[in-house]
Each structure stands twice: as C-alpha cells, then as structure tokens.
C-alpha cells in the first residue's frame, strides 16, 4: 500500500538496494560454505591413521604429520604459559592500579599497534631478537607468538575485569584487606572467563599462524619430546601445509592438513561462543 504511493525512482532505488544486499549476503555465505566443503572433500579422503601417527620417511617415501601435530601442541602450550601471566598482569595494572590517564592511553595505544602489525614483521623481528640468539627453534617461535598474542589476552581479561562490580572491591577494602589481597581473592577470580576466552582466541591465532613462524621456528619434521622439541626447529601444522603445498607439491597432504585446520577453526569458534554465553548467563543470574 505504502509502496504504491512511491514514485518510480524511489521504487527502483528500493529494489536495487535490496537486490544488491541479497547478492552480497548470499555471496558471503556461499563463499564460506564453498571453502568449508571444498577443503573437507579434498582433504578428508587423504587423512589416514598412518598419516596422523608417523613421521615423514625418505626411505619409504611416505609423509606423516605426527611431528607437526606435536610441534603445534608444544608451541601452543609454551606460548600460553608465557603470555598468560604477562597479559593478565598488564590487564590488572590497567584496571586496578593505573591512575595516570596518560600511561593508560599509551599502553592501550601500544596494544592496538601490536595487534595491527602484520605477522611477517613479527617473523622478521622474532628472527632478529630470538632466533639469532637462541637458534631457530620452537621456543623462538613461541616467544614471537607471545608478543603477537599479548594484546588479545590483555583485552579479553580487561573486559572481564570491568564486569567485576566495584562494590566487591570496596567491600574487601572495607574489611581491611590490602590491595594485593583484594586482587588475589576478589579480582582474579572475576577474570576467569576473560582469560579462557583469550586463551581460545590465542589458540586459534597460533594454529593459523605461518608467516611469523617460518623464520623463527623453522620447518623441520623431526619427532621430539616436549623439552627437546622446544629447543629444536620444527614446523607447526600450518607451516607444514605451506611447505608441502608450495615447496613440494604434495597437495594431498596439504589438503589433509587444511581440513584438520578447518575443523579446528570451527570447533574453536563454537568453543569461544559457548564460553562467552556460559559466563554471560552466570553473570546475569
């Protein structure tokens, strides 16, 4: 009814804009669906028990990705263990201690800058800072990733700290607790959800990272234990994908790894959503 009274020009505008929006939304959704299905269809047939549980062997001409899987796990653990105290500490400083607005602004600007720096530059600086001093090894890669993930952990922790009611802190202070005690007993328990969300996001970022690791952690496929692994060069799954696809033309293995990464991406996404929903519910109740 309203539409009938519109001039022709306005009607066309309406139609064109609506059409364009549908095209845009549809292409975004179709693209994601295509990527997911294409990678899974090409990759899953190439995944075998043997691929997952062996190392590459030149003698039998077989490729196994067990070392890459383990390297990925090692580097995730090492990065999180180092970045968590740093990121959480920085967030606590910002929300609990900092009184000087200028310092807060500088720190936040620095964190934003860090999250805008592309990974290839992290890779280069990581190479100069860590690999040139301690050799190309997983630990050098992990330290590079620590700098990259610091802003993420800081931000998610900060956000969850802001939701701890001020009255809790005042109550604790009123009972005579010192600042450190208040932080330990009141503030820290309140930022658990931020820390967990931050961890999940960081794991996702570490899994996807390749440019920063290529020159810091290297691309060897040796099977190592945790400690040995951290001090020797090794490829994570993503780096292995790159090497197999670009350098060796082993597309079957590359797609197998890609489909594993794809599934992990989806899982991480849902996990992050779940955690956020869970804590949001608990907070509102």
- Work out how close the CB of 47 gets to another protein at its nearest, in angstroms, rounded to a whole number: 15
- Work out how close the CB of 38 gets to another protein at its nearest, in angstroms, rounded to a whole number: 6
Q: Which of 86, 188, 220, 271 contacts another protein by CB under 8 A?
A: 86
Q: Which of 102, 246, 281, 282 contacts another protein by CB under 8 A?
A: 246
- Judged by CB under 8 A, how many residues of this single chain contact another protein? 87
The residue (of 231 and 265) whose beta carbon lies closer to another protein is 265
Rounded CA-CA distance 179/91 in Å is 15
- Work out how close the CB of 225 gets to another protein at its nearest, in angstroms, rounded to a whole number: 26
Rounded CA-CA distance 133/184 in Å is 36
Which residues from 93-132 bind another protein, rule CB under 8 A? 93-94, 96-98, 103, 106-107, 109-114, 116-125, 127-129
Q: Which stretch binds another protein (CB under 8 A): 65-73, 163-171, 221-229, 260-268?
A: 260-268
Q: Which stretch binds another protein (CB under 8 A): 68-76, 85-93, 159-167, 188-196?
A: 85-93
Q: Which of 138, 164, 235, 262 contacts another protein by CB under 8 A?
A: 262
Contact between 188 and another protein per CB under 8 A:
no
Which residues from 263-282 bind another protein, rule CB under 8 A? 265-266, 268-270, 273
Which residues from 131-160 bind another protein, rule CB under 8 A? 147, 150-151, 154
The 38-67 contact track toward another protein, x by CB under 8 A, reads xx----------------------------
The residue (of 57 and 132) whose beta carbon lies closer to another protein is 132
The residue (of 80 and 214) whose beta carbon lies closer to another protein is 214
Cβ contacts of residue 232 below 8 Å, gap of 6+?
Answer: 137, 138, 220, 222, 224
Q: Which of 76, 82, 90, 196 contacts another protein by CB under 8 A?
A: 90
For the chain, give the secondary structure using H, E and C: CCHHHCCHHHHHHHHHHHHHHHHHHHHHHHHHHHHHHHHHHHHHHHCCHHHHHCCCECCCCECCCHHHHHHHHHHHHHHHHHHHHHHHHHHHHHHHHCCCHHHHHHHHHHHHHHHHCCHHHHHHHHHHHHHHHHCCCHHHHHHHHHHHHHHHHHHHHHHHHHCCCHHHHHHHHHCCCCHHHHHHHHHHHHCHHHHHHHHHHHHHHHHHCCHHHHCCCCCCCCCCCHHHHHCCCCCCHHHHHHHHHHHCCCHHHHHHHHHHHHHHHHHHHHHHHHHHHHHHHHHHC
Nearest to 188 by CA among 173, 209, 169, 211: 169
The residue (of 75 and 225) whose beta carbon lies closer to another protein is 75
């Amino acid at each position: 009814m309203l539409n009938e009274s519109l001039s022709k020009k306005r009607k066309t505008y309406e139609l064109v804009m609506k059409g364009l929006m549908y095209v845009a939304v549809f292409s975004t959704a179709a693209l994601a669906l295509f990527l997911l299905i294409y990678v899974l269809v090409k990759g899953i047939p190439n995944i075998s028990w043997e691929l997952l549980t062996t190392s590459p062997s030149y003698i039998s001409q077989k490729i196994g990705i067990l070392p890459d899987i383990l390297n990925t796990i090692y580097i995730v653990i090492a990065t999180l263990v180092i970045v968590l105290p740093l990121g959480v500490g920085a967030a606590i400083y910002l929300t609990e201690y900092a009184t000087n607005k200028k310092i807060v602004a500088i720190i936040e600007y620095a964190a934003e800058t860090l999250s805008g720096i592309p990974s290839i530059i992290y890779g280069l600086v990581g190479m100069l800072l860590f690999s040139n001093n301690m050799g190309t090894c997983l630990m050098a890669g992990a330290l590079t990733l620590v700098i990259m993930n610091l802003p993420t952990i800081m931000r998610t922790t900060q956000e969850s700290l802001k939701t701890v009611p001020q009255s809790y802190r005042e109550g604790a202070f009123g009972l005579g607790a010192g600042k450190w005690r208040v932080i330990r007993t009141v503030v820290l328990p309140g930022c658990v959800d931020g820390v967990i969300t931050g961890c999940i996001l960081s794991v996702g970022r570490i899994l996807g990272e390749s440019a920063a690791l290529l020159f810091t952690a290297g691309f060897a496929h040796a099977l190592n234990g945790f400690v040995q692994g951290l001090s020797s060069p090794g490829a994570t799954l993503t780096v292995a994908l790159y090497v197999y696809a670009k350098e060796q033309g082993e597309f079957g293995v590359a797609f197998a790894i890609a489909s594993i990464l794809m599934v992990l991406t989806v899982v991480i996404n849902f996990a992050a959503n779940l955690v956020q929903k869970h804590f949001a519910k608990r907070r509102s109740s």
